[in-house]
Amino acid sequence: MQTRESVYINGRWVSARGDGSIEVINPATEQHIGSVPVGNVDDVNDAVAAAREAFPAWAQSSIEERQGFLNAISAALAERTDEIAELITSEVGTPINYSKMAMVGTPRVVSRSYAKLLDGFEWEGEVRNSLIVKEPIGVVAMITPWNFPLHQIIGKVAPALAAGCTMVLKPSKEAPLNAFILADIMDEIGIPAGVFNLVSGHGREIGESLASHPEVDMVSFTGSTAAGVSVSQAAAPTVKRVTLELGGKSANVILDDADIAKAAKMSVYACFNNSGQECSSLSRLLVPVSHRDEVVDVIKDTMSRYSVGNPMDESVRCGPMVSARQQESVSGYIASGIAEGATLVAGGEGMPEGQDKGYFVKPTVFADVTSKMTVFREEIFGPVLTITTYETEEEAIALANDSEYGLSGGVWSGDEERAMRVARALRTGQVSINGGSFNISAPFGGYKLSGNGRELGIHGLEEFLEVKAIQR
């Protein structure tokens, strides 16, 4: 049981000034596993004031000092990998092996990557008679989601620290406990008071207060598109920078010259990582009409061995949804697919076999999905894969781009030049070719309603910088 009673402001654990606490529920067992305090506007004001006071000194800190803290964070995460992974699995329901790799391993590497990136980063350059100077933007508000809780936090905290910014973090209320462990780590490594602050609470109060605060210079938000719009609206009167990493409904295109069996099998994992609760999930599979039956057969066979259950079991591939609300939402989409006439290949309505508690759904695959169906158009955020057929390469590209989102995508082909041509035609922030692996040094972000701005790598660092031209 992790019971937290204080928030972290100005280098100290202090009592939150809101009323009550937020209970954290294990989605696999429906048991209470901890709680965090409810902060309020007064806590936000205190945290922002602390960050503002700390900013001038931190902005002038040496590169070596920043690198030291970034490496210390990475080392602490490595040392506590099992503990943090088990905690996040208990909060989110992520299968434990994936939790160790993606939920803790990736943040550890990202933190270290920014320490390395600082070695060669050019803070100044000359353009004719001007000196172009890059400077930290200031105080940053960070509002983070539950699905990759620590990864999304470190994806903001690490570049902000590297840039010389100070910050106030508001973690998700579904999975906040890992953020408190990060605050413990910050305290243990001696991060200067006010550089990092943590205020937990409800998004409507804490998030809106941070987004609208006149002393906050930037908001970095990850979450739903609707919430991102609200953050942008709250931030607009103070004309602060806002970066948004939002929803997705990404297409995975199998071309007719691909290794069809391999592409079909891998499409399951590309959709169902983190139990499908992933904004960049490749949830729309586009296949040549001539290979429809082969793809369906391979996926049906793969799904017959796709295990669902206790996420602490290392053999399990799919855990529960994060909450009863999310379970209800995903179940509604599964019912919609059936009602609108899609062909059910695997899964369906109800609880998976052998599960009588927890927020589980059946990992589900639909074939013969048209572009007008709800399951093709709306982000489901759960383990639901749709299969849509096409006649020509041009139609495949049109279907892939037929979305209000543009976060990720995939292309499978035996011809790299052809795959690259299709990848370039997709209106999306990332594309993997033949299952190309995730790169923590490449920019992550989306087109259209998937957001604006980029995280990770040098592009992620530059989001936290202002640019000044000094003429001489």
Active site residues: 245, 279
Q: Which residue has the tokens 């970034």?
A: 70
Q: Between β-strands 405-406 and 447-448, what pairing exists: parallel, antiparallel or unpaired?
A: antiparallel
With a CB cutoff of 8 Å and minimum separation 6, the contacts of 82 are 100
* Cβ count within 10 A of residue 29: 16
At residue 280, φ and ψ (nearest 5 deg) are -95, 10
Nearest to 437 by CA among 22, 1, 52, 109: 109
Query: Are the C-beta atoms of 197 and 43 separated by less than 8 Å?
Result: no
Distance, CA of 337 to CA of 368 (rounded, Å): 10
Distance, CA of 242 to CA of 221 (rounded, Å): 8
Query: Are the C-beta atoms of 132 and 181 separated by less than 8 Å?
Result: no
Distance, CA of 287 to CA of 389 (rounded, Å): 5
Distance, CA of 458 to CA of 442 (rounded, Å): 8
With a CB cutoff of 8 Å and minimum separation 6, the contacts of 193 are 10, 11, 12, 50, 54
* Cβ count within 10 A of residue 121: 16
Provide the total of helices (H) and of strands (E) in the chain, helices listed first.
Answer: 16, 23
Please compute, for residue 255, the number of CA atoms within 13 A of its CA located in the half-sphere on the CB side.
21
Angle separating helix axes 63-79 and 149-163, nearest 10 degrees? 160
Query: Are the C-beta atoms of 189 and 183 separated by less than 8 Å?
Result: no
Q: Between β-strands 166-170 and 284-288, what pairing exists: parallel, antiparallel or unpaired?
A: unpaired
Length reported for the chain? 472
Cα–chain center distance at 376: 21
Distance, CA of 257 to CA of 353 (rounded, Å): 37
